[in-house]
A and B are shown apart, each in its own frame.
Chain A
């Protein structure tokens, strides 16, 4: 069975004198490696330099606010139902008088937690959400954590800040800034 057209017939033919002397082959080999020595390296210095992974990359979760700073999430639980890894859990609460500037509708999530050890970043939660409240950021990865109490992300880490709102570019050619200082360590 032929898989590629690069295969060559193995030959046991006796080598010619030039081949037996090895030196021409050695010199050509050295020439090849020295060319690699001066070649540009494809390495990316990862923690300092990050590659833009495209607008469809699924990274850090975010709970969106609307233009007036109200949380969009109504704690309907569809994301938790859609989640195949059962990473999302929430506790719903009723909006009180005077909290209209905080929550968009009468019901809101008092507690919203994503277990980052379980999450598989499939993106089904953002597809399930009818209120466009949960997104997986395309420009931010979940930082590395070492402690066990760090891996459940509550609303303090999920709800977006109004001065750092997440906008996913509709146009795939728009490139968001791929590097962020906050990525190196979880802000606790």
Chain B
């Protein structure tokens, strides 16, 4: 790789890393604020204007809390747990294409650098590999605590993550079949025109993927690893101070990565409607290079708007839905989502065979019709006055 490209890449990595951490940090603030607003409260507003310094205050508190390691815990594994969780969360953001490309010239040579920290053509596979490693952070943490309840929590978390990963992968396979590539950039480029966004071609796959992404992030309604009614803290019961902070922070980074992943896979990534027109007019008015760069910047902003919306959506769901029971969770994962995603793959394959992209709408339509019929046939529930 030539030097200018290397420098540009380094800058891109720095910027994206910084934005990732910033968004993850402020997600904690946003979560409290969104929670408050959804519950007709106001939320943090003391530290700084509108409470904007709250994450910093929280971090300060985390740092000054007692850093406690149980005497019977295996010390190094205990420290390794949160590091693993954080590491895997951060690693998975490396292959997401955050924008089109930046053009610049250096010594009269033109360069075109993609806005993507690492360009590998197996991006989806990489993310799945790294995300599945995330279970180790939880398992190691729960195991090293040398606390039976933590271990139980860790086992629950692991079994949940693994069972939802299967459906997550299977629902994605339909997209991979349609694109014919494992590269995230290829998947995004496939969705260049608005009605070819995968949300329109894969409605069922999207619902499955979204739900499984919630479960993978351990977010409500699937936050059983740390379900306080049954577990008192779950796998991180023994953790305190910044080590606990790492676990919680990793959750927010996971949420960011999932949001990026959802918007890249189903909502066209950095594409937006009438993008061609905007790009064309920009390149006409500003010149090819500057116009392209501005268009890239707009795409970057659009992508982040989508990500922020999904982060908001994660919070919105968290403060709406009650938690699943553990057996319901397992039933949903194994008995509902895995068969449904296999069905989705089969129907998508059949559609591809006959060159019909919107084939999975068939399943969706059939399900809606069945549901309406069942509603019409079901006897009205009687409310008996006492």
Contacts and interface: CB of A to CB of B under 8 A. Distances in A.
Interface of A: 2, 5, 7-9, 11, 13, 16-18, 21, 23-24, 26, 29-30, 32-34, 36-37, 39, 41-43, 45
Contacts of B385: 5
Interface of B: 34, 37-42, 45, 207, 316-317, 319-321, 367, 370-375, 377-378, 381-386
A33 B316 contact: yes
Contacts of A23: 207
Contacts of B384: 9
Contacts of B39: 36
B385 to A, nearest CB: 8
A30 B320 contact: yes
A12 to B, nearest CB: 11
Nearest to A29: B320
Given A9-B382, A18-B371, A37-B34, 12 more contacts: A2-B386, A11-B382, A13-B381, A17-B375, A18-B374, A26-B321, A29-B321, A30-B320, A33-B38, A34-B38, A36-B39, A42-B40
**Which of A5, A9, A37 is the most central at the interface, judged by chain B CB atoms within 10 Å of its CB?**
A37
B171 to A, nearest CB: 15
Nearest to B34: A37
A30 B317 contact: yes
A96 to B, nearest CB: 53
B246 to A, nearest CB: 30
B40 A11 contact: no
Contacts of B377: 16
**Which of A18, A32, A41, A45 is the most central at the interface, judged by chain B CB atoms within 10 Å of its CB?**
A18
A63 B241 CA distance: 52
6 contacts: A7-B386, A13-B381, A26-B321, A36-B39, A37-B316, A41-B40
Contacts, number: 62
A34 B41 CA distance: 13
A125 B280 CA distance: 83
Given A29-B321, A30-B316, A16 B41 contact: no
B38 A37 contact: yes
Nearest to A15: B378
A5 to B, nearest CB: 8
B383 A8 contact: yes
Contact of B371 (A11, A21, A45): A21
B374 A16 contact: yes
Contacts of B383: 8-9
Contact of B42 (A24, A36, A41): A41
A30 B375 CA distance: 21
A43 B42 contact: yes
A77 to B, nearest CB: 46
B316 A17 contact: no
A21 B41 CA distance: 32
A16 B377 CA distance: 9
6 A-B pairs closest in CB distance: A17-B374, A18-B371, A9-B384, A16-B378, A16-B374, A33-B320
B382 to A, nearest CB: 7
Given A16-B374, A18-B371, A36 B38 contact: yes
Contacts of B45: 45
Contacts of A2: 386
Given A18-B374, A21-B367, A37 B37 contact: yes
A26 B382 CA distance: 23
A16 B321 CA distance: 20
B319 A33 contact: yes
B233 to A, nearest CB: 26
A42 B384 CA distance: 36
A33 to B, nearest CB: 4
A43 B41 contact: yes
A18 B320 contact: no
Contacts of A45: 42, 45
Contacts of A42: 40
A2 B384 CA distance: 13
A8 to B, nearest CB: 6
B41 A41 contact: yes
